[in-house]
Amino acid sequence: MEDKFILGGVELKSRLFIGTGKYSADNLIPAVCEASGAEVITVAMRRVEKGQQGIVAHIPRSMRLLPNTSGARTADEAVRLARLARAAGCGDWIKIEVISDVRHLLPDGYETAKATEALVKEGFTVLPYINPDLYVARACVDAGAAAVMPLGAPIGTNRGLRTKEMIGILIDELDVPVVVDAGIGRPSQACEAMEMGAAACLVNTAIASSADPVRMAAAFRAAVEAGRNAWLAGAGAVKAPGEAAEASSPLTGFLR
């Protein structure tokens, strides 16, 4: 069965997106990219320090960059960062991240929707990072977002799919890909998101903070593929608690 994943007009083979933050050494990144099979990778934009090397030198040229607008507290700041990112000459995809809450790092839905609208008008392929709130998600989709990226749990927590029910609602209701971003801590959680029908998962901390990021990248690759296959296969019905068991083996022809 053909299973095409088209995002922003581009066909992607991998449904695992990865990030470039928090690695103990940036020179691990090429091997992580290879092991993950990912084609999309996130980067941030910051003031350049004297003598500091950027991250792009560590990213295989075949990968599609997805710059984020981290550091933005308002829609206007996100727009400014997006323009700077595009000026770097690595395409027009942008992950909108507008956060003013510094403790929980939760995205500001109102400002995110505003930034989405402005950047779509400027020709960006916009992927907004959101709380899995149906109204915020719809506002982003109505504004032209190419996908929505709801959080499974707060950024960098490795807590997993705490927002599972709400993400399920987005998957059911929206006509754009739902990419679960933030909070996924283990491959089993990425697999679960894919089994639910998520279009893709973005995983950074869980890979970067593991003891062996290259091996963990391979584990996430397998998990995302397994989850996608399970969703395509269509899971069997779950019997309600209290319902009788149903034998898998024939109930006739016993030896007596």
Partner 1 sequence: MLLTVNGEQGDYADDLTVAGLLDQRGHDAAVVVVERNGGIVPAADFATTRLEAGDVLELVQFVGGG
- Could you list the active site residues? 95
Q: Which residue lies nearer to partner 1 by CB, 125 or 204? A: 204
Asked if 53 contacts 15 with a C-beta cutoff of 8 angstroms, the reply is no
Q: Per rule CB under 8 A, is residue 234 in the interface with partner 1? A: no
Q: How far is the CB of 245 from partner 1 (least distance, A)?
A: 44
From candidates 20, 36, 112, 189, binder to partner 1 by CB under 8 A: 20
Q: Per rule CB under 8 A, is residue 21 in the interface with partner 1? A: yes
Q: Per rule CB under 8 A, is residue 182 in the interface with partner 1? A: yes
* The CA-based dihedral angle spanning residues 3, 4, 5, 8, taken in that order and rounded to the nearest 10 degrees: -160
Which long-range CB contacts under 8 A does 117-124 form with residues at least 24 apart?
117/143, 117/144, 118/75, 118/79, 119/78, 119/79, 119/82, 119/94, 120/144, 120/145, 122/79, 122/82, 122/83, 123/92, 124/82, 124/86, 124/92, 124/93, 124/94
From candidates 9, 89, 236, 250, binder to partner 1 by CB under 8 A: 89
Q: Per rule CB under 8 A, is residue 45 in the interface with partner 1? A: yes
Q: How far is the CB of 4 from partner 1 (least distance, A)?
A: 26
> Which residues contribute to the site for partner 1 (CB under 8 A)?
19-23, 26, 42-48, 50-57, 65, 67-68, 70, 80, 83-85, 87-90, 155-156, 182, 202, 204-205
